[in-house]
Chains A and B, each alone.
Chain A
Amino acid sequence: MTLSRRHMLISGLTVVAAGAVPRFAYAAAATPRRLVFVIQRGAADGLAIVAPTGDPAYAAARGALAEEAGGASLNGLFTLHPALAAGAGLYRAKQAHFAHSVATAYRDRSHFDGQNVLEGGGSRPYEKSDGWVGRLLTLLPAAEREALAIAPAVPLALRGSAPVATYAPSRLPQADADLIARLSALYADDALLHPLWDSAVKTQELAGDIGGNNGRNGADLGKLAASLMLPADGARVMMIETGGWDTHSGQRGRLTAQLRGLDQLVGALQVGLDAAWNDTLVVVATEFGRTVAVNGTGGTDHGTGSAAMFFGGALAGGGPVAGGMVSADWPGLSAANRLDGRDLKPTRSLESVIGAAIAHHYALDPARVMRTLYPDA
């Protein structure tokens, strides 16, 4: 019979006060710890996902979009988007944490640059050639280092010295990304084909996305991810790509579909991972937020501060990113309190929140984690 290290420690060191046990003593959990990073490409609207309904300026600024906020009340200030039903349940079970008015170090409003900073973990776009998850792998024991991206190629966030596998579901489109890119170049100067092709490529990205099929695409993705993470030799660190968050128009319906997909994704992960859910941390983050005001087409434009989401059974145990709470140093939505008069002002760095959550999840020294994941922070 092999005893787990935790079991031995607990049975052998009963006289030692828990606080005196070095953190690394807990390094090997009952089941290996798992991490899922869900990236929301396109700038997800944190103000609609975790709506500050208690802010006096909220209803006026959000107009018609404010009426949507009929979901679970999280505390006196925040209401969860109604499409996040499983998310609300996890919050009640203290297995969900929402961090608001957060942003990376990036302050401009380009998707590509913003995603590059979010994934690379630098302070400026294209500063890093590897990603924060890739660097995290170097801190993890071998048993928890197996990494996989559900994508045709390794995304920047997972790149680094450790090997990373990719898995692309077979229902990906026939026209491969390379052919698509070559046609984009071939059509670049064609007044008819260029816009048609742009829109075709965008639509295709959306069709394969979590929002489709009334959220079932998200559930399928979550189920797939769980099945890849559950086996003894399965992945321990996973990255899931989601797109379609760039809601410049008709945000209400589109965001609802996106969130329904995301909610089913998280729900399917919880169900699929079973007992391993208690040792799993899910991090959901986007490159930046969206404007406080609604634009003329029922959508919102590129902004700055947004919300990050954390899910997992272990969050119920407390820590710096504890389940059942919304953390925010809330700046307020009145025009005077906005960044550049338009965006939710970021009051905390997203990097610090993710770093703290990761350090706690893996019981690693927070300073070391920050140095490795976000050396510039």
Chain B
Amino acid sequence: MPSLYLAANRFGLGRRFDDPATDDPQAWLLRQLDDYDPVPVPIAALPGRAAIAAAYVEYQDDRRAMRRNALDDVAQKDGTGTAMAPELQRLSRSAIRTHYVDAAAARLASAVATPMPFPERLVHFWSNHFAVSADKLPVIGFAGNYEFEAIRPHIMGKFSDLLIAAVRHPAMLLYLDQAQSFGPDSPVSDRIRARGRRQAPGLNENLAREIMELHTLGVRTGYTQADVTAFAKVLTGLTVAGLGRGAGQRLMPAGAADGDTVFIAPLHEPGAQSIMGKRYAQGGADQAEAVLLDLARHPATARHIATKLARHFSGDTPAPALVARLEADFLRTGGDLTSLYRTLVAAPEAWAADPAMFKSPWDWTVSVMRSLKLPALGDRQNVPSLFTQLGQPIWRPGSPAGYDDLVATWAGSAALMQRVELASRIAGRIGDRVDARQLAPLILADALTTQTAQALARADSPGQALALLYASPAFLRR
């Protein structure tokens, strides 16, 4: 019988003490695919895109005003420094920061509370695959909204829909500089050049390159620099209303609200483009969509996605046979994601105890909280700093490649000590209100070893036993 432990940890986010012990873990996982809730309560309560855009616009306005004032000061008093006063900077950043903190806390609350942890894990997987990183200022406020509005609604659909939603979200457009990319021969660039006052803003290839390298085809799969440049030209015109910098902002469509994704034709590079041997006729926003659809269906994409999914559910070096089955599934269904998940649940490779994966700090913390249904680990404000301390800041992997998904990424000696110290702190606070000897079989199920059971039984206090449970080999893994 497939392991209850693996169903709950490898596919899910850890068992809760009152989770029933199902005798058909595979059916339990498949049911979750049907019952998936894209908008759970904690997330439904969050403000939408417009409020986040307003906070960012306010921040930008404040900063501009401060710069102006600083320049006035220079003129009047010959003072120095054009930087915004730190307290005002803090104040205006705080609204952006609040959106980030609220979203991170809602993400954690949803993961802890959900009775359907398999789709929740898939959300985290895709959010990391299409990573944005909140170390870029415009991304901070939008990062949560990106996961909630671009990723969550599309994880059970076609890969192409997920790709297009991710690429078109303001967080991605701002993160990978698309909002500032101008067609070199677009009408706007021509006009700027004709005035001759300053250099025309140019093409930015960042988003085009990362879509090909990270989101779809994968690195070194045959596309060339010319393909990247052509794709970047195709993407021009796609920007964010109200938030981008520069000349484009005057061209925003009348009905566009700040923070809306918009296509501005005068920024778009005219003409047909050739990408990977295929010609894409001149067009507007539909030109980019045509390329994205082709990339989403490409065999290299099928292999790339199959490999990443197989690794996430079967270990660092997934069996070629599993990758091949997922790849064939992807090509046959045209990238139907739910079909891939079903293939994974049916795959014997995903139900092998060895090799085990090592929980990421996120996985581990969520599973600790789920085990006792702890609604929080302290002040909501501190959710982001907790994960930063553990080495996995939420929505801030620092690179568009996201976090690596290997045992060695998370199984470090300092990381292990940090987990033990956190386990010890949590256990110390809970003290003798929980008997870890009774909790362990409910949480670890079939993975509770005699060594761990004995270690818990011999612990010198209930708190120590709980810390040992959270630091036990089976609890650290998935």
Interface set of A (CB-CB < 8 Å, partner B): 173-176, 178-180, 182-183, 185-187, 189-190, 192-193, 196-201, 203-204
Name the distance in Å between A39's Cβ and chain B's nearest Cβ: 24
In which size bucket is the chain B interface?
20 to 34
Taken together as a complex, chains A and B put the C-alpha atoms of A220 and B221 apart, in Å, by 57
Beta-carbon contact of A173 and B421 below 8 Å: yes
Beta-carbon contact of A182 and B459 below 8 Å: yes
Q: Chain B residues near A189 (CB, 8 Å)?
A: 451
Q: Which of A182, A187, A199 contacts B464 (CB 8 A)?
A: A182
Name the distance in Å between A247's Cβ and chain B's nearest Cβ: 19
Q: Bits for B452-467, please: 1 = Cβ < 8 Å to A, else 0.
A: 1001001110001001
Beta-carbon contact of A175 and B417 below 8 Å: yes
Q: Chain A residues near B472 (CB, 8 Å)?
A: 186
Beta-carbon contact of A175 and B451 below 8 Å: no
Beta-carbon contact of B460 and A178 below 8 Å: yes
Given contacts A186-B452, A186-B455, A186-B472, contact A179 B413 (CB under 8 A): no
Q: Chain A residues near B414 (CB, 8 Å)?
A: 200, 203
Taken together as a complex, chains A and B put the C-alpha atoms of A201 and B420 apart, in Å, by 11
Name the distance in Å between B388's Cβ and chain A's nearest Cβ: 18
Interface assignment of B342: CB less than 8 Å from any CB of chain A = no
Interface assignment of B473: CB less than 8 Å from any CB of chain A = yes
8 A-B Cβ contacts within 8 A?
Answer: A175-B417, A175-B424, A187-B473, A193-B473, A197-B413, A197-B416, A198-B413, A204-B417
Taken together as a complex, chains A and B put the C-alpha atoms of A204 and B459 apart, in Å, by 22
Taken together as a complex, chains A and B put the C-alpha atoms of A356 and B420 apart, in Å, by 46
Beta-carbon contact of A179 and B420 below 8 Å: yes
Name the distance in Å between A191's Cβ and chain B's nearest Cβ: 10
Beta-carbon contact of A179 and B468 below 8 Å: yes
Beta-carbon contact of A179 and B358 below 8 Å: no
Interface assignment of B156: CB less than 8 Å from any CB of chain A = no
Q: Which of A178, A190, A199, A203 contacts B473 (CB 8 A)?
A: A190
Name the distance in Å between A202's Cβ and chain B's nearest Cβ: 8
* 5 pairs of A and B residues whose beta carbons are closest in the complex: A200-B413, A200-B417, A199-B413, A174-B421, A196-B413
Given contacts A182-B455, A185-B455, A186-B455, contact A200 B416 (CB under 8 A): yes
Beta-carbon contact of B413 and A203 below 8 Å: yes
Name the distance in Å between B468's Cβ and chain A's nearest Cβ: 6
Q: Would you call the interface of chain B mostly helix, strand, loop, or mixed?
A: helix
Q: Chain B residues near A203 (CB, 8 Å)?
A: 413-414, 417
Residue on B nearest A192 in the bound complex, by CB = B411
Q: Chain A residues near B460 (CB, 8 Å)?
A: 178
Beta-carbon contact of A175 and B420 below 8 Å: yes
Q: Chain A residues near B467 (CB, 8 Å)?
A: 175, 179
Taken together as a complex, chains A and B put the C-alpha atoms of A178 and B455 apart, in Å, by 12
Beta-carbon contact of B452 and A192 below 8 Å: no
Q: Bits for B346-372, please: 1 = Cβ < 8 Å to A, else 0.
A: 000000000000100000000000000
Q: A173-B417, A190-B473, A197-B413 given. 4 additional CB < 8 A pairs? A: A175-B424, A193-B411, A197-B416, A204-B417
Q: Chain B residues near A176 (CB, 8 Å)?
A: 424
Beta-carbon contact of A182 and B473 below 8 Å: no
Taken together as a complex, chains A and B put the C-alpha atoms of A176 and B471 apart, in Å, by 14
Q: Which of A174, A185, A198, A201 contacts B424 (CB 8 A)?
A: A174
Taken together as a complex, chains A and B put the C-alpha atoms of A196 and B417 apart, in Å, by 9
Given contacts A179-B468, A183-B471, A186-B473, contact A196 B416 (CB under 8 A): yes
Taken together as a complex, chains A and B put the C-alpha atoms of A207 and B469 apart, in Å, by 26
Taken together as a complex, chains A and B put the C-alpha atoms of A243 and B295 apart, in Å, by 58
Q: Which of A186, A199, A200 contacts B468 (CB 8 A)?
A: A186
Taken together as a complex, chains A and B put the C-alpha atoms of A175 and B425 apart, in Å, by 8
Taken together as a complex, chains A and B put the C-alpha atoms of A180 and B414 apart, in Å, by 14
Residue among B412, B417, B472 with max Cβ neighbours from chain A (10 Å): B417
Interface assignment of B476: CB less than 8 Å from any CB of chain A = yes
Taken together as a complex, chains A and B put the C-alpha atoms of A203 and B93 apart, in Å, by 38
Residue on A nearest B422 in the bound complex, by CB = A174
Interface assignment of B407: CB less than 8 Å from any CB of chain A = yes
Taken together as a complex, chains A and B put the C-alpha atoms of A200 and B418 apart, in Å, by 9
Q: Which of A178, A196, A198, A201 contacts B412 (CB 8 A)?
A: A196
Taken together as a complex, chains A and B put the C-alpha atoms of A197 and B418 apart, in Å, by 11
Residue on B nearest A197 in the bound complex, by CB = B416
Given contacts A197-B413, A200-B413, A204-B417, contact A183 B425 (CB under 8 A): no
Taken together as a complex, chains A and B put the C-alpha atoms of A287 and B159 apart, in Å, by 64
Q: Chain B residues near A185 (CB, 8 Å)?
A: 455
Q: Which of B358, B417, B451, B464 contacts A192 (CB 8 A)?
A: B358
Name the distance in Å between A303's Cβ and chain B's nearest Cβ: 28
Residue on A nearest B407 in the bound complex, by CB = A192
Taken together as a complex, chains A and B put the C-alpha atoms of A204 and B414 apart, in Å, by 8
Taken together as a complex, chains A and B put the C-alpha atoms of A187 and B468 apart, in Å, by 11
Name the distance in Å between B236's Cβ and chain A's nearest Cβ: 48
Q: Chain A residues near B412 (CB, 8 Å)?
A: 196
Q: Chain B residues near A199 (CB, 8 Å)?
A: 413
Given contacts A185-B455, A186-B451, contact A178 B416 (CB under 8 A): no
Taken together as a complex, chains A and B put the C-alpha atoms of A24 and B460 apart, in Å, by 50
Name the distance in Å between B342's Cβ and chain A's nearest Cβ: 31
Q: Chain B residues near A187 (CB, 8 Å)?
A: 473
Q: Chain A residues near B413 (CB, 8 Å)?
A: 196-200, 203
Q: Chain A residues near B459 (CB, 8 Å)?
A: 182
Beta-carbon contact of B464 and A193 below 8 Å: no
Taken together as a complex, chains A and B put the C-alpha atoms of A51 and B424 apart, in Å, by 45
Residue among B464, B468, B471, B476 with max Cβ neighbours from chain A (10 Å): B471
Q: Bits for B411-448, please: 1 = Cβ < 8 Å to A, else 0.
A: 11110110011001100000000000000000000000
Residue among A183, A199, A201 with max Cβ neighbours from chain B (10 Å): A183
Taken together as a complex, chains A and B put the C-alpha atoms of A204 and B420 apart, in Å, by 12
Residue on B nearest A202 in the bound complex, by CB = B413
Q: Chain B residues near A193 (CB, 8 Å)?
A: 411, 416, 473, 476
Q: Chain A residues near B452 (CB, 8 Å)?
A: 186
Name the distance in Å between B330's Cβ and chain A's nearest Cβ: 32
Taken together as a complex, chains A and B put the C-alpha atoms of A204 and B418 apart, in Å, by 10
Q: Which of B407, B416, B425, B468 contacts A182 (CB 8 A)?
A: B468
Q: Chain B residues near A198 (CB, 8 Å)?
A: 413
Taken together as a complex, chains A and B put the C-alpha atoms of A190 and B417 apart, in Å, by 16
Name the distance in Å between A172's Cβ and chain B's nearest Cβ: 11
Taken together as a complex, chains A and B put the C-alpha atoms of A204 and B358 apart, in Å, by 22
Residue on B nearest A201 in the bound complex, by CB = B417
Q: Chain B residues near A180 (CB, 8 Å)?
A: 420
Name the distance in Å between B367's Cβ and chain A's nearest Cβ: 17
Q: Chain B residues near A200 (CB, 8 Å)?
A: 413-414, 416-417, 420
Q: Chain A residues near B420 (CB, 8 Å)?
A: 175, 179-180, 183, 200
Taken together as a complex, chains A and B put the C-alpha atoms of A261 and B20 apart, in Å, by 56
Name the distance in Å between A182's Cβ and chain B's nearest Cβ: 6
Taken together as a complex, chains A and B put the C-alpha atoms of A175 and B418 apart, in Å, by 9
Residue on B nearest A173 in the bound complex, by CB = B421
Beta-carbon contact of B473 and A179 below 8 Å: no
Q: Chain B residues near A179 (CB, 8 Å)?
A: 420, 424, 464, 467-468
Taken together as a complex, chains A and B put the C-alpha atoms of A180 and B472 apart, in Å, by 12
Taken together as a complex, chains A and B put the C-alpha atoms of A36 and B358 apart, in Å, by 46
Taken together as a complex, chains A and B put the C-alpha atoms of A87 and B381 apart, in Å, by 49
User: For residues 319 through 338 of chain B, which have their beta carbon under 8 Å from a beta carbon of chain A?
Assistant: none
Taken together as a complex, chains A and B put the C-alpha atoms of A273 and B451 apart, in Å, by 51
Name the distance in Å between A185's Cβ and chain B's nearest Cβ: 7
Taken together as a complex, chains A and B put the C-alpha atoms of A190 and B459 apart, in Å, by 20
Taken together as a complex, chains A and B put the C-alpha atoms of A198 and B416 apart, in Å, by 11
Beta-carbon contact of A174 and B425 below 8 Å: yes
Taken together as a complex, chains A and B put the C-alpha atoms of A197 and B416 apart, in Å, by 7
Q: Chain A residues near B468 (CB, 8 Å)?
A: 179, 182-183, 186
Q: Chain B residues near A204 (CB, 8 Å)?
A: 417
